[in-house]
Structure 1
Amino acid sequence: MATFFNEYFGVTADQVDDYGAFNISIINDLPLFIDPFLLFNSNKPEYNQLHSGILRYIIFLRDAVLDGRINDDLEKAWFYFPEVKQNWLGFSLQGNGGSGLGGRFAAALRANLQSLFANFGRETISRGSHIEKVCLVRDGVGRDNISDFTTNLVKDFLCSYTEAFTVEHIDPALRRKVWVNKARFNYETKVWERVQYDLPWLEDDFVLLTPKDILTRDQNWINRSDMIRDFEQIPVAIPDAELRGQVFNYFESVLAKPKNRLPSQRERAEAAVKTLISFPQLVDYYIKIKEDHGDEAKDISAEKVTETQLIFDTQLKHLQQNLATHTGFYTVTGDTYAETHQRLAYLKDVIENKGGHRIFYHDGVPIQRESDLQILCRLVWFGSPSDVGTEANDGRGPVDYKISRGALDKTLIEMKLAKNTGLERNLEKQLPIYQAASDAENGIKAIIYFTTAEQARVEGILARLGILGHKDVVLIDARNDNKPSGSKA
């Protein structure tokens, strides 16, 4: 029942770690992605070369756009990319599939290169150029787009990096020589070429490893949210007093000033975007600020990667071992409704009484996002004879899980954090709608709380709705302050 790369491919976790790679799940994407700034700011020449290669391709696209050489066919050849799902990293809550980069991304990138950033590659304010620049002002190119684009542009490196580990450590029966499309761009022929590599083989596709020191989580170091939130600090960095005055004057002129209240955060953000469009050099000043604090990016990203590995790898393995040793979690029988109740009962017992709550904590702080909870539960649930779908949407909105064995046996599960501000609405309205849409007879709600206050809140909600103590509402106590010690658990 392999869940992670090392387990399936017969190597140790230490071998993967010593190589510098992240030990990925082969069941579900984990919430990490390559941050191109970590390539730029690295002291490793090979990473700097990768960043230069990314810039070279962006400049190639910029020149083609400005020269008017892009037709529909070339746009698809040069701007469209599949998601590199084989690295098992990213934003998918089910499996490792994604939409890739298509027409919307191409249109936004072309517009940005043609108008706001025609000087890409010739900046004089910042120390260098950055691919993140094209997503900072206009909508249409987001964090996931930059992640997919960056991964595609360093695909040859990722394949070669994985190949070196594969040849040295992985049994030939578990690897194949495969042709990888769009692996390397030929600037003489202006064509993306496919290249053959010897790579790990999982069922019907190859697998890629990624170095931990180029990964981050949540946001790129250079990102739109920070720029907009801290916008008013950017003009302060402008040495030209006249330009600085013009920027502040323009910002104040476009800032909405409602009567009897201060401008809202949204109104200030809208004014900031208008100012950035009118003074695009501000983007370069923002990037320079981020460059000047570049060492922080390395430290913060390393901490985020460590936290992700601890929760989704180390602590998850301990929970799985606990479930396998002390319960029948992985051998339950019955229909999906009975299976789901048995598994949740086992999970509840291990979390509440056998130290399993530790999976949810890092440095004493519990997980903050329901998406992390859903990924964890998807990985724990692996091994079921049922089909486990995440975020199943049968017409009226997504549900966290649909456990099914054909069309006639379905059970829906909502996995929620007790602190969720929409919890009461969800409990009252959503699940019955999902049941009707999926033709599922059964639905179960599992709610995890981390504090006594969260416990009181959720119990109050359940009491108001008249479902406190209902068998299909499973409360799981993951508090860290009332659990037995490891020796007693």
Structure 2
Amino acid sequence: MAARKSLVHPVLFSNHYGIPAAALNAAGLLDPILNSDTKLFIDPLLLWKSQNPLIISEGRTAVETNFQNVIGLLDISEAEGDVAWRGAYKALNLDERAETSLGYGAAGTSGSSRPPELRNGILRTAKQIITLGEKNPTMIPLMGLFEAGVGPDTLSDMTTNFLLPTLARITEEFCVANSLPVREFAPQYNGRKLPANPYHASLPVLLVPRDLLRDLPLAADWADVSRVILEVREIRDAVNAMFGNFAKATISQKKAAVRRVALSSPTLLRKLINAVAVASESYDEKADLDGYYQFRTILTEDPSPFQGRLTAPSTRDGTTLLKTVTDIIAQYTAMVEDNNMWELLWHGAVPRHERASQLLFFAVANVMCAVNNVDISPETNSGGGPVDFKFSSGYRGRVLVELKLSTGNVVHGYKTQLEIYKKAAATSAAVFVVMDLGKMGRKLRTIEKLKADAEARGEKTSEIIVIDGRRQVSASKR
């Protein structure tokens, strides 16, 4: 997998190719960031719920045929490593797919092969399931339930490999309809003419229907899996008998327990497969709890509201850098508190996740700097962590900005995480932003005391800024 780097300037497919983001939305396709992976995944169980015409007409068949091929070969295999086993191994393609810009990467997108033992582990478990008499192709997407090391990216890439011809056709038809430049790539894309990714010249971009995407496939999301298990009484009772309290078990313990119980009985196995398949749902675009879609909206909307909110620094030094960063935070604070941007932090009465607040801050800072010709670029690790600001040309200073929700572990973030990030970035300049969505309690007082105690010892501390992101009464009701 590619090394995790910081993302500086996100480039959306729509921006690079000069088409309205609305065109992708109307087609039900994700607008990918070409120079970064988005932490969404293709869930194979969602294929049978997709409304995309090509997924319905050929994608489902392609995936099911490939799954059946693997199962059929395993069924006739008499020993691990024989001809049929090797055929199943080859058919179960787990190579990472950089073309979709999905997964856990950051700057740049991933693309490599997974270790042979991972494939063999999946095949061994599938063989056990077949021995129980269950040959439902749905078993393969559910390997994340049983196998250590099988995560959402594995399931997503496996499905993408099987869907490759269909995704290529979806992409080609969209590009032709919108007059986008395309060219032929490797034979694996069935001769389709596809758009190039400027950050991966040898690779095309593959557009993915949004209704195939989850933040985590259900088989890898243990909050959902636990809920599903509780709905299957026999599995719930058997698993709880092992642990007493399934909720307190580690993920590896949960996988081992579910595997042991499910593989003990064809009836239990079938109930588990059916329950998980029914429960799978795509990422909720309207709720957008992780902020993936509102992030794209800010990057593609009219930037005029951000004009005049920031002044280019007159000097180039670390002190000025810190002031510019705090100016950005001050403007962001004003937009949240006084210009109704707080609404983007909530879905109705439910606060969006911390990741949504971080992405919102990153997008606003990125647009604000660009539209006001300020030579400072926000960086973020798309897999999580701090927002890291640095001047993009000629500046040696670096300032970290760590944003935490008041509902989360604020004290740990200030006391531990921020110090680790500062050391990694070789800087002592940092700002700790607390987005107040309620449930603050004594957290603010605790970190303010930590700051005061450190200053009394003569240490350089991180500034603390609190933004009031709590739900407000609309102006018409005040």
TM over 0.5: yes
1:412 aligns with 2:424: no
1:138 aligns to what? 147
Instruction: Please state whether the residue corresponding to 1:416 is helix, strand or coil.
Output: strand
1:390 aligns to what? 380
1:90 aligns to what? 103
Change (3 A) 1:230 1:2: closer
8 Å CA contact 1:36, 1:214 repeated in 2: yes
- State how far apart, in whole Å, the 2-side matches of 1:62 and 1:297 are: 25
1:16 aligns with 2:24: yes
8 Å CA contact 1:179, 1:197 repeated in 2: yes
**CA displacement 1:135-184 (0-9 Å, x = unmatched):** 2223221222111221222122222211112122145xxx3414147446
Residue in structure 2 matching 1:478, options 460, 469, 475: 469
Which one-letter code corresponds to 1:314 in the other structure?
A: T
What's the offset of the Cα at 1:119?
6.8
1:187 aligns to what? none
- State how far apart, in whole Å, the 2-side matches of 1:106 and 1:285 are: 25
Instruction: Please state whether the residue corresponding to 1:116 is helix, strand or coil.
Output: helix
- State how far apart, in whole Å, the 1-side matches of 2:236 and 2:211 are: 38
8 Å CA contact 2:94, 2:113 repeated in 1: yes
2:447 aligns to what? 462
Which one-letter code corresponds to 1:289 in the other structure?
A: A
Change (3 A) 1:182 1:115: farther
Consecutive unaligned residues in structure 1, runs of 5 or more: 185-194, 237-246
8 Å CA contact 1:33, 1:89 repeated in 2: yes
Instruction: Please state whether the residue corresponding to 2:129 is helix, strand or coil.
Output: coil
Residue in structure 2 matching 1:116, options 100, 119, 129: 129
What's the offset of the Cα at 1:374?
3.0
- State how far apart, in whole Å, the 1-side matches of 2:308 and 2:349 are: 25
TM-score, normalization: structure 1?
Answer: 0.74
Instruction: Please state whether the residue corresponding to 2:218 is helix, strand or coil.
Output: coil
- Cα-Cα RMSD: 4.3
Residue in structure 2 matching 1:102, options 114, 118, 125: 114
2:351 aligns to what? 366
8 Å CA contact 2:133, 2:266 repeated in 1: no
Within 5 Å, give how 1:431-442 maps onto structure 2. 431-442=418-429
1:198 aligns with 2:194: yes
What's the offset of the Cα at 1:80?
5.4
**CA displacement 1:194-224 (0-9 Å, x = unmatched):** x452315435443332222323334438966
Residue in structure 2 matching 1:285, options 256, 262, 271: 271
8 Å CA contact 2:13, 2:34 repeated in 1: yes
What's the offset of the Cα at 1:106?
2.0
8 Å CA contact 1:100, 1:148 repeated in 2: no
Consecutive unaligned residues in structure 2, runs of 5 or more: 1-8, 456-460
- State how far apart, in whole Å, the 2-side matches of 1:409 and 1:77 are: 50
- State how far apart, in whole Å, the 1-side matches of 2:118 and 2:292 are: 31
1:241 aligns to what? none
TM-score, normalization: structure 2?
Answer: 0.75
1:212 aligns with 2:210: yes
Residue in structure 1 matching 2:249, options 250, 262, 266: 266
Which one-letter code corresponds to 1:112 in the other structure?
A: T
Instruction: Please state whether the residue corresponding to 1:210 is helix, strand or coil.
Output: coil
Change (3 A) 1:264 1:50: closer
8 Å CA contact 2:391, 2:397 repeated in 1: yes
1:403 aligns to what? 390
Q: How many residues align?
A: 442
8 Å CA contact 2:437, 2:470 repeated in 1: yes
1:149 aligns with 2:158: yes
- State how far apart, in whole Å, the 2-side matches of 1:120 and 1:51 are: 23
Identity %: 18
2:4 aligns to what? none
- State how far apart, in whole Å, the 2-side matches of 1:407 and 1:120 are: 65
1:47 aligns with 2:60: no
